[in-house]
Copies of this chain bind each other. A is one copy, B any other.
Amino acid sequence: MGVTLPQAAAPAANYLPAVGYGGFVFVSGQLPLEAGRLQVFGKVGAEVGLEDGRRAARLCAINVLAQVGAELGGDLERIIRLVRITGYVASAPSFTEQHLVMNGASDLFVEVLGERGRHARVAIGTAALPLDATAEVDAIFAVE
């Protein structure tokens, strides 16, 4: 599909990239990293434009898939569906199109998973994110 999932990044502290329990997998908040480096940083509505924001959200979504894939032994077929994502957009106080930014993530999930990729969603603007990332996305999957 033109999307190559990266190696899932290892945790840097006392937490895990994903936890499975009771038919669900909870994926930790993912940043717009590629090859271990943050690709998009700064706040949308200030130093970052809408298109780069969308690209950041898409990269977060790719990393979410990498993490759930690692949790499932590499087999994305075990995903019954993506249940919910929360998308955090580092935002200047005047920026109010977080939903358009997060379409970059939503579109990627449907691109890769098809109908199973449609999800409930929360999109909000945050004052700041770790490492000055432009976006962060967490997810809950239903899995076999």
A residues with a Cβ closer than 8 A to B are 12-19, 21-24, 26-29, 43, 45, 80-81, 83-86, 88, 90-99, 103, 106-107, 109-110, 117-133, 136, 138, 140, 142
Picked from B18, B91, B128, B140, the residue with its CB within 8 Å of the CB of A96 is: B128
| Of listed A22, A118, A127, A142, residue having the most chain B CB within 10 A | A127
Q: How far is the CA of A83 from the CA of B102 in the complex (A)?
A: 25
Most buried by B among A29, A88, A106, A119: A29
Are A118's CB and B23's CB within 8 A?
Answer: no
Asked if residues B22 and A99 are in contact (CB atoms below 8 Å), the reply is no
Other than the known A28-B122, A125-B128, A126-B126, what 19 A-B pairs have Cβ atoms closer than 8 Å? A15-B106, A15-B119, A16-B120, A18-B120, A19-B81, A19-B120, A21-B142, A28-B120, A29-B121, A29-B122, A29-B124, A86-B122, A88-B122, A92-B127, A93-B127, A95-B128, A123-B130, A124-B130, A125-B129
